[in-house]
Amino acid sequence: MNCKITVFTPTYNRAYAITNLFESLKKQEKFNFEWVVVDDGSTDNTEELFNEITKDFSMFPIKYYKQSNGGKHRAINTGLDMAESELFFIVDSDDTLTPDATKKIEEWEKTLEKNEKFAGICANRGDFDGNCPNDWFSEQFLDKTFLDVDVYKENGKYVLNGERAICIYTDIFRKFKFPEFHNEKFVTEAVVYNRIAHADYKIRYYNDVIYLFEYKTDGLTKSGFKLFLNNPHGYGLWRKEKLLFTNASIATRFKTYYSFTCDLKDVYKTKTIAECLDVSPSIISMCKFINRVLKIIRR
């Protein structure tokens, strides 16, 4: 298979929406990609839909695989095993691509200097009217790491912020697969991206909108904080590694421990919270004590 890009889609009960993505893939200006879909245990008619979609279809390769429900991060790990291309591009099942998306990705990738450590490229997302909620930078492109999102500014604004369309070299992504925790079904993608940055890989950022989205009421983003609350080890891993990778000060570390403790204290025991952050239980006990004192003072 000589595909440049794997368009990877994790899906769960999205038969009603994923056909819109399929239609956008059929409208691509360049068919330099395969479409890999991992069904994370859907109970709707997703499987039947793909049986029908793949009949006598030849515009681009489609690979569909159904596994037990385990969360988006496990689906991505499976997709990485299935991918047969140079670049891995995650596109959610309720989103679509602009007609020039895969063409631009290939053109941009060709400009990456081979003697430098690049993990891939990153473009913008916009709504279905083409409006982009993210701030734009002034240059044609920027070469930064994922950890620069919270550092790099132009005119006082963080211009690499917001959700982006991210395309990573498949072989590099495979080196940083998602950790999997027993009985947990969510690990934020920031864990992987921060690890890639910590390994000194850069990303070439573009302002161009190539990915169109709309937040659904049943989507991960809409689930918000509940995802972190129900998956404390994955949540804690993200928080503690961010502190490590950014060489955070003692004050910043304690603020993180305190906010994490406040988030989880009504659901989990002190020992569990400490395990999630890999710190002493005494630190968590101190955070709980401070929280109780502050509540009394604020009365």
**For 136-183, how does the pLDDT look when each residue is reduced to its tens digit (9 = 90+)?**
999 999 999 999 999 999 999 999 999 999 999 999 999 999 999 999
CATH superfamily, with its number, for domain 3-214 = Spore Coat Polysaccharide Biosynthesis Protein SpsA; Chain A (3.90.550.10)
Residue 122 pLDDT: 98
58 CB neighbour count, 10 Å cutoff: 8
At 295, which helix (H) or strand (E)? Answer: helix 281-298
Residue 215 pLDDT: 61
Residue 130 pLDDT: 76
DSSP assigned state of 203:
E
Cite the residue boundaries of each domain of the chain with CATH code 3.90.550.10: 3-214
Residue 90 pLDDT: 98
Residue 266 pLDDT: 96
- Using N-to-C axis directions, what is the helix angle for 281-298 and 270-277, rounded to 10°? 120
- Using N-to-C axis directions, what is the helix angle for 250-264 and 270-277, rounded to 10°? 140
Q: Which residues of the chain have pLDDT under 70?
A: 1, 215-224
The span from the CA of 218 to the CA of 14, in Å, is: 9
Residue 224 pLDDT: 67
Q: Residue 260 has which token pair?
A: 């994490």
Say if CB 58 and CB 32 are below 8 A apart: no
pTM value is 0.94
Residue 102 pLDDT: 98
Residue 216 pLDDT: 57
Residue 1 pLDDT: 53
Question: Residues in the chain, how many?
Answer: 299
Say if CB 239 and CB 233 are below 8 A apart: no
